[in-house]
Amino acid sequence: MKNIDFEKNTIFSRGTFALLAAVVLMVTFLAGYGTCIVQRCSQPDEFTLLSQAHGILRENFYGIAPDKTQFEYGMIRGMLSELEDPYTTFNEPGAAELDADRRSGAFGGIGAHINKNSNGQFILTPLENYPAIRAGILTNDQLLSVDGNSISTETTIEEVIWQIRGEIGTSVNLTIRTGTEAPRKLSISRIEIEIPSVSWHQMEQDTTIGVVDIERFSHNTENEAEEAVKALVKSGVTRLILDLRGNGGGLLESSVSVANLFLEDGVIMYQASRGEKEESFHASSKEVAKDIPLVVLVDNYSASAAEIVAAALQEHDRAVLIGQQTFGKGSVQLIFNLADDSSLHVTSANWFTANRTAIESKGITPDILIETNGQSAENDLTLNRAVSFLNNSANENRHRSK
């Protein structure tokens, strides 16, 4: 009996175990499936090879490996290189901050220009009425350290500028040297330094012609350009030259707003973004110089936002373009700030002119082409041609009105 009972008990135990095991397996499977739904673990690890390679390097590389952050920067740059897009770029924190300053048009600083001479020394030039000159910095003083961090010939200008700039109201400690004198230390409080994107003047030979020079398109450019046009018109200017030479671009919204200052209506540009309907940007009748004769100067370095303005004014017959073929950048980048204040610029759209022309890698052809040979500060052939064109147009109009 005991054996039978034992046998029966044994048979019952095995069956129970099998049933329990099946239940456990089912519960485990369902639990795992639920976890996969929550964690999306059905998706394979996208960077298995990268993690594996990083581990191998960390454990086996004989030399001095970069730190974790530099490894990450290298990985990011490697990913971007595979895109083969020159405008999708990565900026480390210092460069990202300087780029943001250029876009905003202001930063916390001391008011001094910094240059690097042929010997690798950093030379300061203080600006009038700013903290640097009030603290005793002289023209051609050599900068030796910033906040105790020594500067070497290997240091870049961007690194130095990034260290000197900072939050408005805070102080920066500089060690400088005048000539062969002993180094001296200065503590200078940072103030807001504005970076104008627009300058303007009346032509000396003819004060009825005004020049508005836009260096880049920042947050303040629309207001600065509007102020420039109104000031020139108030001073008696009846004809305008908009100088976009050397303007590498900037904010798309700013360029559209500037074009709007000179256009009464019509499309300024079209934008085609990934996964979205085509977007059009229209003039909104804000023009402050609707009828004033206008010439736009461009060159090989006029790019992106500058090309948006030039193309809109040319295709609406609002202005004549004079100069050289423009750069040809027909894409738009979104800027993302990463966790350590570095930034990623990602090409997210292409833009087209009012006539739906793509200018990527082609640029815009001026109405009047000017050779650059022989052009200098004393003999600006492009500007002279613009003045000549405006004068001839004025003479033609006088003859027609008679």
Q: Sheet of 209-214: strands edge to edge?
A: 198-202, 209-214, 239-243, 294-298, 320-323, 368-369
CA dist 81 and 341 (Å) reads 21
Q: Are 242 and 297 in contact (CB under 8 A)?
A: yes
Residue 384: its H or E element:
helix 381-401
CB neighbour burial string for 289-307, b if at least 16 within 10 angstroms, e if fewer: beebbbbbbbbeebbbbbb
At CA 267, angle to CA 266 and CA 269, rounded to 5?
A: 155
314 touches 364 (CB < 8 A): yes
At residue 27, the pLDDT reads 37
Q: What is the pLDDT of residue 351?
A: 97
Burial class (CB in 10 A: 0-12, 13-18, 19+), 250: buried
CA–CA separation, 393 and 399 (whole Å): 10
Tell me, rounded to whole angstroms, the distance of Cα 269 from its chain centroid: 20
Number of Cβ atoms within 10 Å of the Cβ of 270: 19
Alpha helices in 1-148 (DSSP H): 2-39, 48-60, 68-83, 93-104, 131-134
Superfamily of domain 198-390: 2-enoyl-CoA Hydratase; Chain A, domain 1 (3.90.226.10)
**In degrees, to the nearest 5, what angle opens at C-alpha 167 toward C-alphas 164 and 169?**
100
Closest CA to 352 of 375, 330, 385: 330
Q: Which of 369, 347, 351 is nearest to 360 (CA)?
A: 351
The residue assigned the tokens 């916390």 is 108
266 strand-pairing partners: none
Q: Locate 330 and state its tokens.
A: 């027909």
**CB of 336 within 8 A of CB of 324?**
no
Distance CA 113, CA 121 (A): 14
Q: Per-residue confidence of the chain (402 residues) as pLDDT tens digits? A: 333 333 333 333 334 433 333 333 333 333 333 333 333 344 456 789 999 999 999 999 999 999 999 999 999 999 999 999 999 999 999 999 999 999 999 999 999 999 999 999 999 999 999 999 999 999 999 999 999 999 999 999 999 999 999 999 999 999 999 999 999 999 999 999 999 999 999 999 999 999 999 999 999 999 999 999 999 999 999 999 999 999 999 999 999 999 999 999 999 999 999 889 999 999 987 778 878 999 999 999 999 999 999 999 999 999 999 999 999 999 999 999 999 999 999 999 999 999 999 999 999 999 999 987 556 666 899 999 999 999 998 665 544 444
Provide φ and ψ at 55, rounded to 5°. Answer: -65, -40
Strand partners, 124: 114, 141
pLDDT of residue 23: 37
How many CB atoms lie under 10 A from the CB of residue 348?
16
Q: How long is the chain?
A: 402
Radius of gyration of the chain (CA): 32
Identify the CATH number of the domain defined by range 106-194.
2.30.42.10
Single-letter amino acid code for the residue at 356: R
Indicate the Cα dihedral angle 154, 159, 160, 164, nearest 10°: -160
